[in-house]
A and B are shown apart, each in its own frame.
Chain A
Amino acid sequence: MLDIAFKDLKSKKSRTTMVIIGVMTCVLLIGVIGYITYDLQESIQADANSIAGKLVFEKYGTGYPPSGSIISENVSDQVLANSVVNPDKSTALLSTALPLNSTTSVGIVGITQGKERALINNIKVNGKNSLLGQSNNSVILGSQAAINYNVTVGDTFTVDNQQLKVIGVMQKQSIGSATSLDSTVFASLQFVQNISQSPGVVTADIITPNNGVSLQDAQNTMQNSFNSSLYTVYTQQDALQVLNSNENASYVFLDLIIAMILIVSAILIMVVMMMSVKEKTKDIGTMRALGTSRMRIMLLIIYESLIISCIGGIIGLILIIPLYNLFLLLAGSTSFSYTIPLSIVLEIAVVVIVIGTFSGLIPAYQATRISPIEALRYE
């Protein structure tokens, strides 16, 4: 019956093409939205990865990446001097924003010179990967920050009357959207304290537990050592929870759009297949008279629906990357994706099969109810 379904669709070229375009558009939209969601989750994960195996010490709440918290440098020093803390791999940081122009500001993070690896981890850096021994105004840029300010290693640029010298540029963290690290400018803590006029304060401490101390033990020790109503010590998991909950509304919105597209797509195929069954009443009657069983008639209609859905799905899948890259281009991104994540391919495959099968079910049932006697009289 599959070959007959193909021939049947081929004989109704215009209608088949229109439905395939409809399904393709739906798949394309679902794919791009799926890609946006995937990208968002990836960048959140990449963001949180910067504190994998570490703790963040902050005042009030768990607002990763740390920004609103203000901790005196004395408290920060006490934190970093605690016996469970590995001082070589831990640092205080001060996060602030400086105006680049009247509409844009620069996110700048000050970290203790020589302790950059506490935050940058193993990210590859073009140029120098440490501020230690460099001039006071030296900075290491995230990949997106370098693009935003159109600078590379060795260049200088001016922010809020401060001339900054680029000594290193980090490689990009994730495929799609820029992470917090990608957009950040790293400078020495002292320099950031000076330009933000915040002497003696930091935003948070990034803590790596000492060898032999578990993350949980370190968290408990730190939390017990400092007033828990003022200070919070949190892990990568806590940060992920916060980051994801910040995006919950976006996820729900995107899921709603996908659900609506799915419904529209299913209705589209169903209506066309119902029309097709109506048009083919006489043919179905003939097939029934010639001894075709109800099950095979049902299969024929479901096959047609599945073929339309699969062709539309495959074309849609092929076009997802160009459309997504167009979306990135329009959003101002300069890095593009050239592969579709397997999760999206699987999602589309499931969508296509489910839409194709379910939207064909009602018309197929309708077709099996056609009486051959009535159908043979049908004109």
Chain B
Amino acid sequence: MTNVVLGKELWKRYNIGEGIQVHALRGLNITVDEGEFISIMGPSGSGKSTLLNLIGALDNPTKGELFIDGEKISSMSESELTKMRAEKIGFIFQTFNLLPALTVRDNVEFPMRNLSRDKKVDKISRIKRAEECLEIVDLGHRMDYLPAKLSGGERQRVAIARALVNHPKFILADEPTGNLDSEASDNIIKLLHHINNEGTTVIMVTHDKEIINNTRILKIRDGVIEPE
């Protein structure tokens, strides 16, 4: 089975001024296989967000090697990381982060505009794919709505559809139920499991122990992953 994410001896150091350095990650190792549903848990300050930023190709490690879908991203340039995010990673945020001026359909279609020239598709195909993804999350009847007109659960479902639209290698969900009530949370988790069952790898960061059933749990503490 292919490693979707492979991190070897990942270190991340931040300078917080006046010569003070903080080590957010201390030689962390991580492996995520294709088709897995991973839950990353840990207390505040444990390095969860830093790990998320690295796996999400938003940042580079200070030391160590990180591979996404077999490609070494730890030494990639800023523009190469941007391309990696567009083509291989689907993001789901705690606060949904939909673009407020765009309709639901446009929000879902948006990441397809970021594909590199060789993978770009025409507008009609983009819209068709966006509508397909919205059907998957059961929001076919809300396509022309602006995000402000939707409930929290619906917004997160739009975000899931947006994360799916470019057929990513994995979906990175940062506290996907953090802003939702329990019913909406259940629905989102069911939806993520459904997507996972269809073959998409899911990496979820969460504090909520009630939503991690049927996932592989990675506990992170003091910048390293505790033995499973």
Please indicate the chain B residues that have their CB under 8 angstroms from the CB of A287 in the complex: 99, 110
Would you call B143 an interface residue if the criterion is a C-beta within 8 Å of the partner chain's C-beta atoms?
no
Q: In whole angstroms, how far apart are the Cα atoms of A14 and B87 in the complex?
A: 37
Q: In whole angstroms, how far apart are the Cα atoms of A10 and B101 in the complex?
A: 8
Q: Which of B56, B84, B93, B113 contacts A286 (CB 8 A)?
A: B93
Chain B CB within 10 A, most for which of A290, A292, A376: A290
A8 touching B101 by the CB < 8 A rule? yes
Q: In whole angstroms, how far apart are the Cα atoms of A283 and B114 in the complex?
A: 15
B106 touching A290 by the CB < 8 A rule? no
Would you call B58 an interface residue if the criterion is a C-beta within 8 Å of the partner chain's C-beta atoms?
yes
Would you call B82 an interface residue if the criterion is a C-beta within 8 Å of the partner chain's C-beta atoms?
yes
Please indicate the chain A residues that have their CB under 8 angstroms from the CB of B115 in the complex: 291
Chain A residue with the shortest CB-CB distance to B87: A291
Tell me how far the C-beta of A367 lies from the nearest C-beta in chain B, rounded to whole angstroms: 14
Chain A residue with the shortest CB-CB distance to B162: A290
In the complex, per-residue mask of A275-318: 1 if CB is within 8 Å of any chain B CB, else 0: 00000001101111111111010000000000000000000000
Please indicate the chain A residues that have their CB under 8 angstroms from the CB of B53 in the complex: 373
B93 touching A376 by the CB < 8 A rule? yes
In the complex, per-residue mask of B101-116: 1 if CB is within 8 Å of any chain A CB, else 0: 1100010001101110
Interface range for B: 20 to 34
B101 touching A288 by the CB < 8 A rule? no
Given known pairs A372-B58, A373-B59, the reply for A290 and B110 (CB within 8 Å) is: yes
Please indicate the chain B residues that have their CB under 8 angstroms from the CB of A376 in the complex: 93, 97
Interface range for A: 20 to 34
Q: In whole angstroms, how far apart are the Cα atoms of A111 and B99 in the complex?
A: 78
Would you call A124 an interface residue if the criterion is a C-beta within 8 Å of the partner chain's C-beta atoms?
no
A11 touching B101 by the CB < 8 A rule? yes
Given known pairs A7-B106, A376-B93, the reply for A289 and B101 (CB within 8 Å) is: no
Q: In whole angstroms, how far apart are the Cα atoms of A287 and B97 in the complex?
A: 9
Please indicate the chain A residues that have their CB under 8 angstroms from the CB of B114 in the complex: 290-293, 296
Please indicate the chain B residues that have their CB under 8 angstroms from the CB of A286 in the complex: 93, 97-99
A292 touching B100 by the CB < 8 A rule? no
Chain A residue with the shortest CB-CB distance to B98: A286
Would you call B83 an interface residue if the criterion is a C-beta within 8 Å of the partner chain's C-beta atoms?
yes
Given known pairs A290-B110, A373-B53, the reply for A11 and B100 (CB within 8 Å) is: yes
Q: Hey, which bits of chain A sit against chain B, CB under 8 A?
A: 1, 4, 7-8, 10-12, 282-283, 285-294, 296, 372-373, 376
19 additional contacts (CB under 8 A) given A7-B102, A288-B82, A291-B85: A4-B101, A12-B101, A285-B97, A286-B97, A287-B99, A289-B97, A290-B85, A290-B91, A290-B110, A290-B162, A291-B86, A291-B114, A292-B86, A292-B113, A293-B82, A294-B82, A296-B113, A372-B58, A376-B97
